[in-house]
Amino acid sequence: MNPLAIVLLSGGMDSCVTLAHAIADGYDVGALHVNYGQRTQTRELQAFHDICDHYGIARRLVCDISHLAAIGGSSLTDTTIELRPAALDSHEIPTSYVPFRNANILAIATSWAEVIGASALYIGAVEEDSSGYPDCRDVFFRAFEQVIAMGTKPGTDIRIKTPVIHCSKQRIVEEGIELGAPLHLTWSCYRREDVACGECDSCALRLRGFSRAGVADPIPYAPGTTLQA
Which chain residues interact with its own copies by CB under 8 A? 61, 63-64, 67-68, 71-72, 74-75, 78, 80-82, 98-104, 106-108, 110-112, 114-117, 134-135, 137, 139-140, 143-144, 146-154
Beta strands in 132-211 (DSSP E): 159-161
CB 99 → its own copies: shortest distance, Å?
4
Of the two residues 150 and 229, which places its CB atom closer to its own copies in the complex?
150
Q: Do residues 217 and 204 make contact, with C-beta atoms less than 8 angstroms apart?
A: no
Nearest to 31 by CA among 4, 15, 9, 54: 9
Of the two residues 17 and 34, which places its CB atom closer to its own copies in the complex?
34
CB 158 → its own copies: shortest distance, Å?
10
Cα–Cα distance, 196 to 181 (Å, whole number): 19
Of the two residues 134 and 218, which places its CB atom closer to its own copies in the complex?
134
Of the two residues 64 and 178, which places its CB atom closer to its own copies in the complex?
64
CB 70 → its own copies: shortest distance, Å?
8
Nearest to 52 by CA among 25, 20, 4: 20
Contacts 24+ apart (CB under 8 A), 220-228: 220/195, 220/196, 221/195, 221/196, 221/197, 222/192, 222/195, 222/196, 222/197, 222/198, 224/198, 225/196, 225/197, 225/198, 225/199, 226/198, 228/204
CB 145 → its own copies: shortest distance, Å?
9
CB 23 → its own copies: shortest distance, Å?
18
Of the two residues 46 and 131, which places its CB atom closer to its own copies in the complex?
131
